[in-house]
Chain A
């Protein structure tokens, strides 16, 4: 069964293999406040977005069954290892799945940053998300500074420098 699952994952990734990840972030103009949320992570810890006020926060919406989401997770983890001691936060919000599903998935796609669970989909509905993955960079003042629709190479220096510059 695991072999079949692996083949299926590889096949789905191959299907979107033609998509090249752009290393760009779209700047959001005007003062667009990031909708606040309170969610638990997979370790049971509660995170409130507004508690991160004062530092840039990368907020990523994803699911395990979304091929481009899987595609960008390794680079997000590499980016996190660069950013975690630089005063930048990273929160990945899984949409609609339970802890067990994410736990099994994390064996193949380990992440060291907090993975939050939005099982009912209530939080994602508050954000202007159209498709998955979508990632926002929230500025220290709580406004949305950048948006990325689709996967990115998150450890790209130019991309991370934009995030760092928000500090």
Chain B
């Protein structure tokens, strides 16, 4: 059975990759995908500790995180569609009206 530490390592790797993607990519849709990746890394942590502590709390929280991720994806994608209609771009660095 893989130990909790191995799961935490894997989750840290996925989280770091997702974080790099959020900062590095220009395409807004890919940025949203990388956020989903980071949320998934958190879910791995919750499941690993749920097993380690023999407590269902972690699994219940994972379900809540998945729900929040679904809502976040829906609203984020709606914002991206609307932005594309207004600006004809999905690049993060070209949307800087608030920048002045």
A and B form one complex: no
- Chain A residues proximal to chain B, CB less than 8 Å: none
- Chain B residues proximal to chain A, CB less than 8 Å: none
